[in-house]
Chain A
Amino acid sequence: MALAAGFSHSAHAADLSFQPEPGAKLRLLRWKRFVEGDETAFARNIQKFSEKYGVEVKVDAESWEDVRPKAAVAANVGSGPDLIAGWFDDPHQYPDKLLDVTDLAEYLGKKYGGWYDVCQKYGRRAGTRQWLAIPWGIIGNAIVYRESHVKAAGFDGIPKDTAGFLKLCQALKAKGTPAGFALGKAVGDGNNWVHWLLWSHGGKLVDENAKVVINSPQTVAALEYAKALYPTLVTGTLGWLDPNNNKAFLDGQVSLTANGISIYYSAKNSPDPKLQELAKDIQHARFPIGPVGKPTELMQITQWMLFKHSKFPKACKELVRFLMEAEQYDPWMQAAIGYVSQPLRAYEKNPIWTADPKHTAYRDGGNFILDVGYSGPLGPASASALADYIVLDMVAEAASGSRPPKEAAQRAEARAKRYYKG
């Protein structure tokens, strides 16, 4: 509870609570844990809630990619879990099926130092101040690299700009310790880094008015960069799925990749002394900044959606409030060992981010990531475009030389127009 002192300003925020309906029972659906600590700490918080309020909560967990269709079906048929932890722009697919959580979001925002801007875009109904969902956490993503190999290649850390970064990758390749980024259908690892690449050069799928603008000189510049970067990568990245980079890095076959904190933790917690040595050599860094001059990263975000079909809306709200309060959120985030970062600024002070200096790179995602629909609205079109791998395919085509950059951009434009109509 030493943490509570860090949030002394919170005393000024008016307290808010919702009295759960008598006899309330809740069904909750969330994604299956990535790290064990998350699951046990979460279960502990749920148990605390049940004991405090006498509300039984049944927790179901599904593989993270399966939550999205299930949530959509629950919204569509008007039954199923009372609340679901979904992904990205899920709340914007069926805003009318969700409880208005403006009071809760504003209360939490006030109490915990405010929501990051990107969380406000994800949580609020477009163009209004109404909150559709409560952002729960951001799955951190960063450059993971071998410090000794980067040094041996003549660099003191990861260059801050894209031009320097390319030189580093070329030098790593020359030393036989290449980088590797997923260019196959890797939902997380592939999408994250290709969006960074596109946005870092000023390219984007759509503008503020949802007009498709992907076929631009900026996109072509990004694709030219991808084309130059690709030969520096280890063999096989075109076929890489989400787990490949973890495996290759831990085996010492790549020395630089983009990933969550999981690679570091697998090495650090391994009984194998070789991997423990590797953990000491692992460092994390932010992605370099491209010609646009500002960070342009994409990370997954998960949000609590409370459904109107629930018979116990107050219990739902109280549960989410309870989970987001420091007494529960802090130990949970700590138990998730840096895999999940906070949507609310006050939680930047959580000791997990400084317990090991290698964690810190994963702390500030909320401060600088862009949203998945950037720079257009969130909704069915942004969801479909991402799931159809329009940007990932475009980068893979140009990088591998299977299409010239201009042609890859044209093809992406044609595909995007299908989802962003008129």
Chain B
Amino acid sequence: MLLPSATLLLGLLAYPLGLGVWLGFTDAKIGRPGEWVGLENFEYLVTDSVVQLALFNTLFYTLVASTLKFGLGLWLALLLNRRLPFPGFFRAVVLLPWIVPTALSAIAFWWLYDAQFSVISWTLHKAGLIDQSIDFLGDPWNARYSTIAANVWRGVPFVAISLLAGLQTISPSLYEACAIDGATPWQRFRHVTLPLLSPIIAVVMTFSVLFTFSDFQLIYVLTRGGPLNATHLLATLAFQRGISGGALGEGAALATLMVPFLLAAVLFSYFGLQRRAWQRG
């Protein structure tokens, strides 16, 4: 029984990862094998202003989008956990953004954010609130916020539905006990819901951070990293250089640069939140 899974893990996960990391230490180009160059790629990349900007963008994107996804997701989960009519319907609706393929929803956002044809600009203009179109994707900060908003729209359902599943495992008797003790809603949330939800939050947010940090499709469709590289993430920059530009070694090195950040994010959210769960256990 162990052999098939070991083969799968080694062949499909460990080998490509190992190969990717190895490529990062070579000067391989697409179409020609490279030679070992040691840390040369990494030494260059850390001094490259575009990479520094992409790293900043990635951290900013991940931090802001993940925080918003957590806040909104938790809020939505709490709402859905109340006794609503047609619970199945509402849960299905909430899941919609998650089900639509990212490439498709990104194209919808691309129209929403279009410099000339944005329906948002059009509505605000008709309402007399603005007198010229909002430059959603043509201004560096606007573009950052716009891509984050699209990412949040897409990612909230995952957080909300997972947390809802967690909420439903909390025994109602605990809330009854709270009610008897005269706890306020905030106290109930703070001392019952949150601690019991922590393990689930840890897992969900770990995944959420990972997805966000390594996001690619959304950026590729909306901006390809522009304007002025303001929305380039490490993943999109790695693609631009490694695949489009043929500098496979450098692209692989860029992708490898993501690993420590991803590991740190995993360790932080996983152990950080888990410990709180034990302490309160």
B-binding residues in A (CB < 8 A): 65, 68-69, 72-73, 75-76, 93-94, 97, 183-185, 234-241, 244, 247-248, 251, 253, 380, 383-384, 386-389, 393, 396-397, 400, 402, 411, 414-415, 418-419
Contacts and interface: CB of A to CB of B under 8 A. Distances in A.
B245 A396 contact: no
A387 B228 contact: no
A236 B135 contact: yes
A418 B48 contact: yes
Interface of B: 29-33, 44, 48-50, 114-117, 132-133, 135-140, 143, 223-229, 240-241, 243-247
A248 B29 CA distance: 38
8 contacts: A76-B32, A93-B30, A97-B31, A184-B226, A236-B114, A240-B115, A241-B224, A388-B241
A235 B228 contact: no
A393 B246 contact: no
A72 B30 CA distance: 6
A239 B240 contact: no
A235 B49 contact: no
B29 to A, nearest CB: 5
Contacts, number: 124
Contacts of B241: 384, 387-388
B247 A384 contact: yes
Given A185-B225, A241-B223, 11 more contacts: A69-B243, A93-B246, A184-B138, A184-B223, A185-B224, A239-B135, A239-B137, A387-B241, A389-B240, A393-B50, A402-B140
Nearest to B146: A239
Contact of B30 (A69, A239, A244, A396): A69
Contacts of A72: 29-31, 246
Contact of A251 (B44, B116, B136, B229): B116
B49 A247 contact: no
Nearest to B110: A241
Nearest 3 A/B pairs, CB to CB? A236-B115, A239-B137, A387-B245
A47 B87 CA distance: 59
Interface of B is mostly: loop
A415 B229 CA distance: 14
Contacts of B224: 184-185, 241
Contacts of B143: 239
B31 A94 contact: yes
B246 A387 contact: yes
Given A73-B31, A247-B117, A380-B246, A185 B50 contact: no
Given A75-B31, A244-B115, A402-B140, A236 B244 contact: no
Interface centre among A97, A185, A396, A402 (most CB of B within 10 A): A185
Contact of A237 (B44, B138, B229): B138
A140 B260 CA distance: 46
Residue from A69, A248, A253, A400 with most neighbouring chain B CB atoms (10 Å): A69
Nearest to B136: A239
Nearest to A70: B30
